Amino acid sequence: MLRRCGLIGLLLLLSACATPVAHPPETHVTPQEWTGRISLQVQSEPPQQMNASFALQGSAHAGQFDVFSPLGTTLASLQWNPKEAMLYQSDQPQRFASMAVLTESVVGAPLPLAEIFDWLQGRATPAAGWQPDVSQLSTGWVFATRTSPTPTVLLKIKLDTP
């Protein structure tokens, strides 16, 4: 159960939005690093909820996201680049054509990867179906709710250092 929850969080956080949004090329973007806790609720049938620690580094273009259990065990690791996305879980690597494909195949409720990186930097960049709230970033909190399409997804991120 804990492994599945970690995977769900990992996949939802890193998946791409089904509706592409134009972003400037990221060749000049300095990769970022964040650590903290993530809470994710997918109001599907049955509902799914996950809480875990995480480490995120890179950019929407290329990076890595690790999800940890409360005891610090790595539950899942995901790496992506423009050509593919790789999921490492229980020493069983899985290759996907993209983050969107990976997320849809595992949880069915993708998150907008590029916009999440913006949200973590305090920019409330719009994403189709999502309502981001970065107003509490100074205290380390980022919130976002996806209301369309269903299922509704609630995302809460608490950064270790705002």
* 1-13 pLDDT, tens digit each: 444 444 444 444 4
Give residue 107's pLDDT band: very low, low, confident or very high (50, 70, 90): low
- Which is nearest to 99 in space by CA: 112, 88, 90, 117? 112
Averaged pLDDT of the chain: 81
**Chain mean position to CA 143:** 12
pTM for the model stands at: 0.79
Q: What is the CATH number of domain 2-18+30-159?
A: 2.50.20.10
